[in-house]
Amino acid sequence: MKNENSTCPICGNPTSIWYGNARKDKLCREHAQQMKEGIIEQCPNCGKWHTTGKPCECKSKAIRYSENVNNSELTCIICGEPSNGKHFCRSCYAKYKDRSVDIRITHCTETEILDEYGNLIYTCDDGRKVRSRAEAIICSWLYNNKIRIKYEEPVYYRDEESGETKTLHPDFFLPDYELYIEYNELSNPKYLKSKEYTQKIYDKLGLKVLIMTDKDLQDVAACLKPRLFVR
C-alpha cells in the first residue's frame, strides 16, 4: 500500500513506489537503482546505507575508539586489577603462567574461574567443569532448572582448637536461596566423619546446608525441589 509519509533514509526524498506499494527498505528511485547496481549496501549491524566496499560509519567509530583506548586503563581479565595494557596483572601472570585455566566471561566484564588447577574432568550442561560425576549431575540439574550457582564458594571459619582461620569449599552455593549443597559419599567412612564435622561448622555459622548422598542422586528432583521451590 502506498505510504505518502515514507521517505528515503539516505536523502529524504519520497520512497519509490512499485505497483502501488512502497519499498520495504524505503529507498527512493535513485538509491534503489544504486542498490540494484551494487553501488550501495546496507550495514547488517546498524542498518544504515553506505558505499559498497567502504566501512560503515558505525565500524569507523569502533575503529577510532579502539585506537584511542589508553592501554593503562585495561585491567587483568581474572582479578580486574590494573594490568598496564596486558591480559593479566603481574600477580595473576606469576600465579597462572604455563598453566591451563578455564575462565567463563560474561557481559564482557564479569569473569569466573571454572578450573584453576586443570584437574576438573567432568563437564556439566552449562559448560562448567567439576571434580566428580556426582557434582556434574547436581550442577546440571540446577542449571537446567535455571538456578544460579557458585562452585566451591569458600566459607571461612575459626577453628576452636587451634584458633586459626580455616576454609571450607562447599560443592555449591545457591545465592538466591542462601543455601549450600555438599555431596557426601556415605559408603566411605572418611566421608561419614567429614559429614558430621562439616554439619557442625555450618550449624555454628548459622548457614543452611543440604548434604546430598548417593541415594539422592537417584532422584535429584525429589531431593532438591522441596528445598528450592517451596519457600
Q: What is the spatial distance between Cα 125 and Cα 131, in angstroms, rounded to a whole number?
A: 14
Q: What is the 3-state secondary structure (H, E, C) of the chain?
A: CCCCCCECCCCCCECCEECCEECCCCCCHHHHHHHHCCCEEECCCCCCEEECCCCCHHHHHHHHHHHHCCHHHCECCCCCCECCCCCCCHHHHHHHCCCCCEEEEECCCEEEEEECCCCCCEECCCCCEECCHHHHHHHHHHHHCCCCCEECCCEEEECCCCCCEEEECCCEEECCCCEEEEECCCCCHHHHHHHHHHHHHHHHHCCEEEEECHHHHCCHHHHHHHHHCCC
Q: Where do the structural domains in the chain lie, given as residue ranges?
A: 17-51, 116-228
pLDDT (0 to 100) of residue 189: 60
- Report mean pLDDT in 10-residue bins for the chain, 231 residues: 70 84 86 87 83 74 51 73 82 75 69 65 86 92 93 85 84 92 72 71 90 90 87 52
CATH architecture of residue range(s) 116-228: 3-Layer(aba) Sandwich (3.40)
pLDDT (0 to 100) of residue 224: 93
Residue pair 207/181 in contact (Cβ under 8 Å)? The answer is no
CA 215 vs CA 134, 152, 185, 206, 230: distances in Å: 11, 22, 10, 26, 21
pLDDT (0 to 100) of residue 192: 58
Q: What is the spatial distance between Cα 34 and Cα 170, in angstroms, rounded to a whole number?
A: 64
pLDDT (0 to 100) of residue 190: 59
Residue pair 138/220 in contact (Cβ under 8 Å)? The answer is yes
pLDDT (0 to 100) of residue 1: 42
Question: In the structure grid, which three cell numbers stand for residue 62, read together?
Answer: 569502533
pLDDT (0 to 100) of residue 194: 66
